[in-house]
Each structure stands twice: as structure tokens, then as C-alpha cells.
Chain A
């Protein structure tokens, strides 16, 4: 107020500060800032006060206590003797697993369906349209229930498991697949695979350079396939096949041996992938449609076939339209994975909920949830932003 008075006193040649847009903007921003600060201070103090009065402190020391409960699916060794923090790590890894495989599957299915919606083939086009309309218009929770209760729950009991190729067993306890057991010298195959990848990158670069220089093309794709399959295979032959497979067998209650993939994981994985794929399909379609028709026509005029046109002309330009909204879908899929609780898949939210219930440390657990999901989302965003700059239109 004092400043306003000061201005009032020398209103000679200048406009009053009240009518100065810059001063007004600064004033209102200051008011909002102070107000916001006061609100935050009030909330924090209120929380601290109330916690103190309730005799609860917000230390994270309880995380080192014995968990006491078991978790059905774990990527790392875990037992009821492990600590709460171990349990949270198990939950976090389960969340990351479902997010990772879900994003990959959703992307592949989404691209196929999205391109399919633009197909000239009536059947493919209509099928893809129906797919998108069905999955996009059903809440993801119902899709999860459909897979869990409608499909996986009515599979036969473990004793009457369906025998699938390659020794796989399918029952209402999930899918049991053979687990490779790496023997002595198997590391060479891994090394060979790494070498093959390195050679592939090298070949691709050389081929590109040669094409730029001379116009001659080189079958990079087939060369890479041959390298990726051939080199590790060669390594295995040299070492005398040091790999055996632990094939699942029917046990007393469920299959034993091999690798078991639970129905909770399958239901969540299938639902989230297929649900998100319908959105990705629409994003891909929009991206392709967003590339001017003249580009395709110009490409045809240059003599490129439709396949090469899509691959070399349309998709690279479509990518810059596709990638930003694609990032949102990836984040959505990751966050939707917290619906795991509905089918009892032990993800971060489910495990955290159990700990919250047992220890009563609600504030800490909710804080951990928020920080972890925020970190996963920010990391995904960072990666996608980096990828976006790679595919963005490079002006020459």
C-alpha cells in the first residue's frame, strides 16, 4: 500500500502504477505466490501437527522391518523374512515388467492395426476398425476382468493342462514354458550375439554410405538376420550345445519346472497391451493421414513401389506426428498397470497397499507410490523426447 501512495504523490507526467500493466502483473503474481506459499506452509504444518497429535511420525525406518507376507510372483529372491523395502522392490519390478512388455506389444499391435485401417483390403480394414472401436470404448478394468474371469479362469485345471508346442502347458494357473538352462561355455553365444549386433550396425552404416555415394544398395536386412542367428548358433556348435531346457511337467498341484507365467500377469498384460494398442492404432492412422498426399504421389512418380513408399517416404514423416501422442499412451499404460490390484497381480500399488494395511504408515507409502510413478513417467518422457528429436523433420 505504501508504494501505491508513493506513486500517487508524484502523478505528474507518469501514469499511476495501478494502471501500469507491468506493475499490475508483478503485483498479482506476488499475491498469488505469497498465497500459494502460505497454503503450502499451512498444509505441511497441519499435516505435521496432526501426525504428531496422532502419535505417528513420518520416518521411513519401518521399511527395514520384516514383511511377514509372501508374494506370488517375484523377479528377485523374496520370502516372508525379507523386509518391506524388498517387498516394494518386488512390486516395482513387477510394475516395470508389465509396463515394458506391455509397451512393446501395444506398439507392435497398434502399428499393425493402424496401418491395417488404411488398407485397401475391405476385410482387413473393417476388422481393424472393429478392433479399435471395441477396445477403445471399453474401460480397461472390464477388459482385464474379461481376460481374467472370462478367458483364463475357464481354462482346464493344471492336471488337465493343454499341451502346446515346445513343451508349453496352459491351464487356469497360467502358462508354463520351458526354461533354458545355460551350461558351461554358453557365454560365448551371448558374446557372439553382441558381436553380431555390432556388426549389424556397422554394415548398416557402410551400406548407407555406399548408397549415398554410388546409389548401389546392399541387402542390410537379410545380412543382419543371418548375422544375428548365425553367429550365436555357430558359437553354440563350437562349444557343443551347452544349453538344456527345463521342461515343465504336471505336478501334484500345479506344473513344476520350467518358467510359470501366472494368469494374473497374462490377464493384465493382454488387456493393457490390446487396450492401449487401439489408441496407438488411431495415433498411427492420424500420423499417416497427416502426411500430404503429394508425398505419396511424388514417390510413385519417382518409381518407388507402394511398400517402399510407405517405408521410406510416408512413415518417416508420419513418425514426427506419431511420437508425441505415443508418449502419452506409454505413460497411460504404465499408470493403468496399477489396475493390477483388481486381479491380484503383485505390482507396486498392490504390495504397497498390503504394507500400508499392515504397518499403518499411509503417508510414507503414498509418497513412495507418487515418487516412483513420477520417476517412471519422467524417465519414459525423457526417452521419448530424445527419440522425438531423432525422428523430427531435419531441414536441409
Chain B
């Protein structure tokens, strides 16, 4: 068993940036030992543990602007952080009852597996091997990401598609799936390019900023975030093409269906609220709505027992929306038009508006 864990963990890390297998193998060994311990620990009902503890433990990024980063008061804010706050609001009716654990790409699965945290909300791509061999359950997709390209529009004006990049020098981090997607994309489109590869993310940033390359490629959300750290962010534009699928979402451990349901339906409630036009500002008025769907979602129907079946109170959706707003509000505040990142909704628009955000109904 331990050996299969070790092997599988290595596979599951294929998306980790610039990791040397030799380094990981020792870590994987420790991880394997950790995982075999976890199997016994994680069986307990997480909801009961969280309620007894009085606080939700949530793993977030150490610092990715817009997604999870401490603000000037030292409080964590961001898109992923709001999912932690939403779950806490659903349980405690208090979004501040969260204890954050900053994690790197390497140790994020470890802290979830060994029970240090209850929930992993850290721009993590949903893949098969993470689902099966790392024994994670992804609650859904809260951000549809994909690999994209960024260029300096001032230095190379007139380029508005990656297909115009023939002959360009492209900065990329070595040993990542990004590097391979890049080769595939340029080959498939019969374009020439000159790869400039570095081992560390900081080196790639520095090389691109100094003008060594015309193009920077990584996950699109990462490009928006990195753009903020460049010398003159306004000169750089992210091209519309997305050349790979990187669906990001919060994850929990295997073995606790009730807990998975709570996280999943918290996510769904955010999207449903946006569909129905329920916002942080109007949620109290909406409770008096005559629309049966809105009444049902907000727990205003007589003998409603959706919340109780989840193990929550009947006004759980009201608490969530009061705490963080609906999906659109969370998006715009942290990474959209209301933030320095200015990411367009794109794929993350509601399905009714040409995007992919779609939630099963509460009924």
C-alpha cells in the first residue's frame, strides 16, 4: 500500500512547477507514511469536529494576489479565501470563524490528508490522479482556468492573438505541463518559436520583465496575478487563447460524504444566488420574495428541511450570501472589475451568459 501511495503521489504532482523527482521522492515517502496514518483519522465526521472546535481550518495559497493573500491588516482575503468564509458562514453564521493555513504547491495535499485542515481552497487543478490516488474529493469547479499567453503590447503592438506569435521568444518554466502544452500548441498551429526556459518562477518573471522574451506563458489566472508585479503592468495584455484545461476547485478528503455535500452545496448556492439575482445587499428583501425558487433557496418555505438534511440551519444560504455575496460578487470583488487584476468573467460567466458556471438546483 505504501508503495502505491508513493508512486501515485509522484504522478499526481505532474502539475507541480519545477519539482525535481529526487527531491520529491523523500517527501513522497514521508507523505506515504502520513497517508497511511490518515486513513484511520479521517473517518470521523468532519462537521462534528468543526462544530466542536468552533472554527473551520482552511488551507490557502501562501500568496497569490486576488486568490489568497494577506492584506495590509494581515487578514487573508481573496477568491479562494471567500470559499472558506462561505463554508464558515454556512456552519457558524460567522465568516470569520476560519483558521487559515498557508500552503505551498508541495505541501497542500499533505495538510489535507493528515487532518491539519478540513478544506483545501487553493487554486488546485482537478485531475483524475488527484481524485483517485491522492484520495481527494473535489467539490466542483469554482474557476475555469487554462494556460494562456501574455505579451507586452507596447513593445509588440498589433498582436491580438497567439496565432500571430510566430518567431517569438517565449518565457516558460521548465519541467511543467506548461512547457509541453506550449510545444504542442505551436506545433499544432505550425508556428515557430524560441523557448527560453528557467527553473524557478522568479527567474521567468525577471527574464520576461527585462524583455528577454516577447511572450510569457502559464495559467491565465497566474498571468493576471504576475502582471501586477511587473514594472509597468498596464503595458502587458493577456491574449484570449487558452491552450489547456485547468479547472480549479476546493477539495476535501475521501471518506466523509456529509462534509463533501456541505462544501459542494455552499459552492452551488453561490452560483444559484447569482442566477436568481440574490446579492449581499438584497438578500434580506429577497426573503420576502414570492418567487417559489427564491423562497426555497433561502429556506423560507414552510417545513423546509434542506438545511437540516445537510446538517446546517435552514437559513444557511442567507448566511452565506450575507457573508460573501453571490458568485459574481465574490469574483468581481477579488479578481474581476472591482480588483486590480481585472480578470474578465469569460468561461466563468454564468451558463445563461455564455459561460460555464452552472449549478444543480436546490430542490
Q: Are B210 and A54 in contact (CB-based, < 8 A)?
A: no
Chain B CB within 8 A of A69 CB: yes
Report Cα–Cα, A149/B202, bound state, in Å: 13
Q: Are B210 and A70 in contact (CB-based, < 8 A)?
A: no
Q: Are A70 and B183 in contact (CB-based, < 8 A)?
A: yes
Report Cα–Cα, A80/B182, bound state, in Å: 10
Chain B CB within 8 A of A299 CB: no
For window 194-249 of B, CB contacts with A under 8 Å fall at 194-199, 203, 206-207, 210-212, 214
The residue in chain A whose Cβ has the minimal distance to the Cβ of B158 is A252
User: How far in angstroms is the closest Cβ of chain A from B85?
Assistant: 36
Q: How many residues of B contact A (CB 8 A)?
A: 41
- 9-residue interface stretch from B2-10, B136-144, B292-300: B2-10
Q: Are B174 and A252 in contact (CB-based, < 8 A)?
A: no
User: How far in angstroms is the closest Cβ of chain B from A312?
Assistant: 50
Give the contacting residue for A254; candidates B7, B179, B194, B198; CB below 8 A.
B194
Report Cα–Cα, A153/B166, bound state, in Å: 22
Contacts of B210 in A (CB 8 A): 149, 153-154, 172
Report Cα–Cα, A91/B193, bound state, in Å: 19
Chain B CB within 8 A of A350 CB: yes
- 9-residue interface stretch from B17-25, B56-64, B118-126: B17-25
Interface string of A244-273 (1 = CB under 8 A from B): 000000011110100000011000000000
Chain A CB within 8 A of B187 CB: yes
Q: How many A-B residue pairs have CB under 8 A?
A: 102
User: How far in angstroms is the closest Cβ of chain B from A396?
Assistant: 57
Report Cα–Cα, A356/B23, bound state, in Å: 11
Interface string of A139-156 (1 = CB under 8 A from B): 000000000010001100
- 9-residue interface stretch from A181-189, A324-332, A357-365: A357-365
Give the contacting residue for A72; candidates B19, B168, B187, B195; CB below 8 A.
B195
The residue in chain A whose Cβ has the minimal distance to the Cβ of B22 is A362
Chain A CB within 8 A of B175 CB: yes
Contacts of A360 in B (CB 8 A): 10, 21
Chain B CB within 8 A of A71 CB: yes
Q: Are A80 and B197 in contact (CB-based, < 8 A)?
A: no
Report Cα–Cα, A69/B25, bound state, in Å: 24
Q: Are B3 and A53 in contact (CB-based, < 8 A)?
A: yes
The residue in chain B whose Cβ has the minimal distance to the Cβ of A67 is B183
Contacts of A346 in B (CB 8 A): 197
Report Cα–Cα, A25/B131, bound state, in Å: 62
Contacts of B153 in A (CB 8 A): none
Binding site for B on A (CB under 8 A): 53-56, 68-72, 79-81, 149, 153-154, 157, 159, 172-173, 251-254, 256, 263-264, 341-342, 344, 346, 350, 353-354, 356-358, 360, 362, 366
Q: Can you name 30 A-B pairs with beta carbons within 8 Å?
A: A56-B7, A68-B180, A69-B179, A70-B182, A70-B183, A70-B186, A80-B184, A81-B187, A149-B206, A149-B210, A153-B207, A157-B211, A172-B210, A172-B211, A173-B212, A252-B156, A254-B168, A254-B169, A254-B194, A344-B196, A344-B199, A350-B174, A353-B175, A356-B20, A356-B22, A357-B19, A357-B174, A357-B175, A362-B20, A366-B22
| Nearest 5 pairs of A and B residues by beta carbon | A357-B175, A80-B183, A153-B210, A253-B168, A253-B167
